[in-house]
Every structure is written in structure tokens, then in C-alpha cells.
Amino acid sequence: MTGLMSDADVIARVFHHIDNKTTDLADDVWRQPVESYMSDERFADELEMFRRLPVVFCPSAALPETGSYLARTASGVPILAVRGDDGRVRAFYNSCRHRGMAVAEGRGKVGAFVCRYHAWAYGLDGSLKHVPGNQGFPDLDRDAHGLVQVQAEERGGLVFVTQKEAMAEGALEAVPDIIGAGQTVFDLISFEDPANWELVVESAAEGYHIKHLHPKSFYPYGFDNLNVVETYGPNSRLVFPFRRIEKLRGVAPAERRANGMLTYVYHLFPNARVSMLSSHYQMVIIEPLAPDRVRWDIFRLTPPSRDGKPVDMDQTVKDSDFVNDTGLIEDREAASAIQEGLKTGANSHFTFGRYEKSAVHFHQHLDAHLGMLRQGSG
Ligand code: FES
Ligand SMILES: [Fe+2]
């Protein structure tokens, strides 16, 4: 149970905020030491935490059929996920059991994984199926040389991977249905920025910056510093209303629909977020590469089809391009500029105000998880 509000309740709350010039608030201000964004030691702990939590690997829609696979580096480790003959998603370390070559790259659909070094072949369940030149390996125990499996689980239209024994439930504590069965991934893009991953998480965690950082991209359609923010487990959901939500004033509360009137942004602890817009969905995985380097893996998805109508792909691509080519670039530049600014030593800590509720929630849970990790290993 996530206990998230209904569309009608969210919209009523948005109107309350518009009428009162208010927004949802965190209980307290949060001070984050800037060392967090630069420390090699903390970064190593964070990666260990990532590997010991169920972390979003991809949308289920990226693996639509038997044999659909996706290979990507997650929490610093090459991982391969594939949908098996039984419909289940399994995940493996992407490392051949002969001499360690990656057995798959990118995404696609296969009947088996054939290593491109010496062609050892593995089934969709990871089992070793074929070794060319069998006589070269007289004592090979095939059963002991399947791909090494890591835990994979599908929830709410997302695939979660846990690489090592889980230290906590993490995001799985409360995952709502986020991506539906009919939605498809029409593109996957990746790029890197010189910023700490936490800065990128923070960049979409409040609406306090909308007017100033996004004056021509998002602000003309939205509000400044006006959000409904709910938390569920370590996760949170933010609502960014559009100005056109005013049209719903005359609609009976029970008849009000959020579609097209606001954007829901789901943050899934620690490093994934899904933005739901009327014509497209966007799932971002914020991959830590180094204390000052991050990779964005962005899955671009179609929206759910509404009223049985086919999705208008031209509109979907156009709207998704608009977000990625305008507001997202502004957020990326901000995160990179902050990382650069850390070199000044001007700040000993950053202060997150009560307007920045989702960022405060994220840091509270990150601290708690890192504390748990250190206690466990101490
Ligand atoms: S490393 Fe894969 S077959 Fe040799
Ligand atoms: Fe932003």
C-alpha cells in the first residue's frame, strides 16, 4: 500500500495551493555536508548500498517478449536482464564463464547468448548450452558454469535488480503501479555529466526553481514553487501542475482527471524517477560513475492508450524531445555548475528548505541506509 492520493484529491490540493499561494512543505530544513558530493569513501559506500538494495534496472516494457534482453552497467557492474521462456525476467552478471567477456550488449532479442570471443552459448535461463571444441575442456563442469544470476523482480511495471544480499527493502517497500502493460519503450538514450548523482536526484525534487531556472521552458506552462509532494517508504511523488488545470475549476470534483493537467514525478529510491506526461512517459536512471561523474539512462516510453485510441507517436516524440532539449538541459547544466562550484570551498553544507520536501526525504533515507550499511559492516 502506498497510500498515494487520488487524482481528485491531488487536484483539490493544487487549487488550495493556488488560492492560498502555498505549496507542500517539509517538516524541517535539512543541511547536507558538501563532502557528500566529493568523497571517494562515501561514494564507495553508496555503490555498496546500491548493490545491496533492489534498484530499478529498466521498465518491464524494455523486455516485452521471450528473449528480449537489455545489458547495461548498473551500480558500476555490467548486468544483463532477459525475459525467459517462462515469461519471467532473470538478471545475470554480464560476464562469460570462460574468460569473462560480456555476452550481450545494448538491447535486442535473442534465442540464446553466444559470447563473441569463443562462442560459448548460454540459454535464456543462464545455463551453459554449448562449448565449441569440447575436447579442449575435458573436465568442465557445465552445471557450474552457467551465467551467474543476480536477483530480479518485476513490480509496478519496473524491473528491480538486487546484486548482493539485500540490506533492506528499499524502494520495494512501496511501489505503486507506474507503467502499464500496453506501454512501449520507443527509445533509450544515455549521456554523461560531470556531476555527483545526488545532485541529479535533487534537480527534479522541487518546484522552487521553476521560474528562475526554467523561465522559457517549463514556467510558461506551469507554476513556480507549487507542488503536492507525497512520500511513500523511501520514495516520493511530486505533482507539477500546468496552468491549464484552471479549466477543471468548473468540473465536479469526482469528474476531474489529472491527465494533461499536471505531471506526476515518481522518485524511486535511490536513483530512478518516472515522469508521467499526457503524451509520453520518461524513466530516468541516474547511474553513479564517480563522485563527480554521472550517467543518465533515459527510457522514453509511450503513454497508456486512452479511451482505446492509438497513441499519436508524432506528438509523443515531439513532446519528449521538447523536455529533453530544453528543461532537462537546464537541470543538467545546474547540476554540473554546482559540482564545479564545490571546488571553491564556499559552502560547508547545502541547506534544503521546507519547499524542498522530496529532496529532504531522499537525504533522510540515504543517510539512514548508509548508516545501516556502516553498522552492518562495523
Ligand atoms: S570469453 Fe566467452 S567464450 Fe571465451
Ligand atoms: Fe528543473
Query: Which of 80, 113, 114, 117, when mutated, tests ligand 1's pocket best, judged by the most ligand atoms within 8 Å of its CB?
Result: 117
How much of the chain, in percent, has pLDDT values that exceed 90?
96
Tell me how far the alpha carbon of residue 87 lies from the centroid of ligand 1, in angstroms.
27
> Quick one: average pLDDT of 95-105?
98
Q: What is the pLDDT of residues 333-356, one digit of tens each?
A: 999 999 999 999 999 999 999 999
Q: Is the pLDDT of residue 76 over 80?
A: yes
Residues 6+ apart with CB under 8 A from 110: 67, 69, 82, 104, 124
Q: Is 120 in the pocket of ligand 1 (CB under 6 A)?
A: yes
Asked if omega into 291 is within 30° of 0 (cis), the reply is no
Q: Is the pLDDT of residue 308 over 90?
A: no
CA dist., res. 280 & res. 300, Å (int): 7
Tell me how far the alpha carbon of residue 324 lies from the centroid of ligand 2, in angstroms.
11
Q: Is 101 in the pocket of ligand 1 (CB under 6 A)?
A: yes
**pTM score:** 0.96
Q: Which residue has the cell 544483463?
A: 80
Q: Is 99 in the pocket of ligand 1 (CB under 6 A)?
A: yes
> Quick one: average pLDDT of 236-248?
98
Q: What is the pLDDT of residues 110-158, one digit of tens each?
A: 999 999 999 999 999 999 999 999 789 999 999 999 999 999 999 999 9
Q: Of the bound ligands, which one is closest to the alpha carbon of residue 99?
A: 1
H helix intervals, the chain: 7-20, 40-51, 197-203, 210-213, 313-325, 327-341, 357-377
Instruction: Please tell me the predicted confidence (pLDDT) of residue 1.
Output: 58
CA dist., res. 252 & res. 273, Å (int): 31
Q: Is the pLDDT of residue 241 over 80?
A: yes
User: Considering only CA atoms, which of 378, 339, 365 is closest in space to residue 36?
Assistant: 339
CA dist., res. 115 & res. 108, Å (int): 15
Alpha carbon separation from 242 to 22, 219, 257, 264, 282 (Å, rounded): 16, 9, 13, 11, 17
DSSP state letter for 296:
E
> Quick one: average pLDDT of 74-83?
97
All three cell numbers of 162: 538486487
Q: Is 96 in the pocket of ligand 1 (CB under 6 A)?
A: yes
Instruction: Please tell me the predicted confidence (pLDDT) of residue 75.
Output: 96
Q: Is the pLDDT of residue 2 over 80?
A: no
Residues 6+ apart with CB under 8 A from 207: 23, 222, 223, 224, 225, 226, 227, 238, 240, 355
CA dist., res. 257 & res. 157, Å (int): 22
Q: Are 89 and 70 in contact (CB under 8 A)?
A: no
> Quick one: average pLDDT of 322-328?
96
Q: Are 305 and 182 in contact (CB under 8 A)?
A: yes
Q: Is the pLDDT of residue 378 over 60?
A: no
All three cell numbers of 54: 533492489
Instruction: Tell me how far the alpha carbon of residue 46 is from its chain's centroid.
Output: 16
Ligand 1 atom nearest the C-alpha of 101 is: 1
Q: Of the bound ligands, which one is closest to the alpha carbon of residue 122?
A: 1
Q: Of the bound ligands, which one is closest to the alpha carbon of residue 203?
A: 2
Instruction: Please tell me the predicted confidence (pLDDT) of residue 134.
Output: 78
> Quick one: average pLDDT of 14-42?
98
| Residue with CA nearest ligand 1 atom 4 | 118
Q: Is 115 in the pocket of ligand 1 (CB under 6 A)?
A: yes
Cβ neighbourhood burial of 317 (10 Å; 0-12, 13-18, 19+): middle
| Residue with CA nearest ligand 1 atom 1 | 99
- Radius of gyration from C-alpha coordinates of the chain: 22
Q: Of the bound ligands, which one is closest to the alpha carbon of residue 207?
A: 2
Instruction: Please tell me the predicted confidence (pLDDT) of residue 377.
Output: 66
Phi, psi of 85 (to 5 degrees): -60, -30
Tell me how far the alpha carbon of residue 120 lies from the centroid of ligand 1, in angstroms.
6
Tell me how far the alpha carbon of residue 347 lies from the centroid of ligand 2, in angstroms.
22
CA dist., res. 111 & res. 122, Å (int): 9
Q: Which long-range contacts (CB under 8 A, 24 or more apart) does 123-127 make?
A: 124/66, 124/67, 124/82, 124/83, 124/84, 124/85, 124/90, 125/84, 125/85, 125/90, 126/90, 126/92
Tell me how far the alpha carbon of residue 326 lies from the centroid of ligand 2, in angstroms.
10
Q: Are 278 and 221 in contact (CB under 8 A)?
A: no
Q: Is 276 in the pocket of ligand 1 (CB under 6 A)?
A: no
Distance between the two ends of the chain, CA-based, in angstroms?
Answer: 33
CA dist., res. 256 & res. 11, Å (int): 8
CA dist., res. 293 & res. 193, Å (int): 6
Q: What is the pLDDT of residues 156-173, one digit of tens each?
A: 999 999 999 999 999 999
How much of the chain, in percent, has pLDDT values that exceed 70?
99
Beta-carbon count within 10 A of 329 CB: 12
Query: Which of 93, 97, 99, when mutated, tests ligand 1's pocket best, judged by the most ligand atoms within 8 Å of its CB?
Result: 99
Instruction: Please tell me the predicted confidence (pLDDT) of residue 306.
Output: 86
Ligand 1 atom nearest the C-alpha of 118 is: 3
Q: Of the bound ligands, which one is closest to the alpha carbon of residue 97?
A: 1
